[in-house]
Every structure is written in C-alpha cells, then in structure tokens.
Amino acid sequence: MFTISHRVEIKTDPQSVYRALSSADGISGWWSRTEGEFEAGGEIAVHFDASVMTLQVLQQNPTKIVWQCLQVDPEWEDTQILFEWEEQDGQTLVQFRHEMWAEETPLYERCSAEWAGYLLSLKDLLETGQGRPYPDNARINHSQGGS
C-alpha cells in the first residue's frame, strides 16, 4: 500500500484548524464546496463540477480527523484521508496522510501534488482569511476535471 504524506505549519491555534476541517463552511473555504454530517459515522459530499465525492467520517476529535473514501474515482475507493495536528512553538503543525492506495499511478502522483496545494490553501485560509478552494485552486495540469 502507498501513502501520500505532507505536513504544514500554520500560524493559528489548534481549535481553528479543527473548525476548518470539521464543517461545511471550513472545508468549502480551502478544498471545495462541501455538505453533510460532520460527526463520526456521518457522510460528507465534496463537489467538483459535475462529480461528487462521498466520504465517511470515521473519526473526528479536536486533534484528529479520519475520512474513508466511498464514492469517488475507483483508485480512491477504500483509501483513507487523515489529518492530525498539534500546537508547536506558537503555531499548529498539521500532518496529512492519504493512505491505502493500491499502487503508485499517474493519478496518485497528481493527487499528491494537488493535496500539497490544498494544504497551502488551508494555511492561507487560516492565516489570511482567504483560501483557494476548487475551482480557484492551482491547477496541476490543463485537463484537470477536479479533485
């Protein structure tokens, strides 16, 4: 199994990170338009143009969130997206992992780059008040339909 892993240091408190990762308004501010039930066992829908990604919330607490990918590109199905964060030296360190990829494919590589961009969008949202969610995110390629 393969894992995409990134970390970002954000000049904010852990509670603000939690709010940005655990609500429709928060996620919509850095990733893409989102709706659903943001509690363990709930499902959330993330919208990209004509496609919708369905995630199940496996764990959600003030320092960790885990999502299971349900309805999405077949390569994403049954993968897990994890965020863990802690205060460190007056800022918050966010560790991100997208785990359980079956193989390293062109989509895996593109998603790794896109996740880095979305984490910088999260950082911008929390540090400046303005993220760069889809469709205004940095594009990795010209044929990108959204993810």
Domains within the chain, CATH numbers bracketed: 2-128 (3.30.530.20)
Q: Where are the alpha helices (DSSP H) in the chain?
A: 14-21, 24-28, 106-128
* Tally of CB atoms within 10 A around 143: 6
49 Rama sector, left if φ>0, alpha if ψ -120 to 50, beta otherwise: left
pLDDT tens, position by position, 9-66: 999 999 999 999 999 999 999 999 999 999 999 999 999 988 999 999 999 999 999 9
**pLDDT value at residue 49:** 87
At 72-97, the pLDDT tens digits run 889 999 999 999 999 999 999 999 99
The whole-angstrom separation of Cα 20 and Cα 28 is 9
What pTM, to 2 d.p., does this model score? 0.93
Strands 2-10 and 91-101: antiparallel
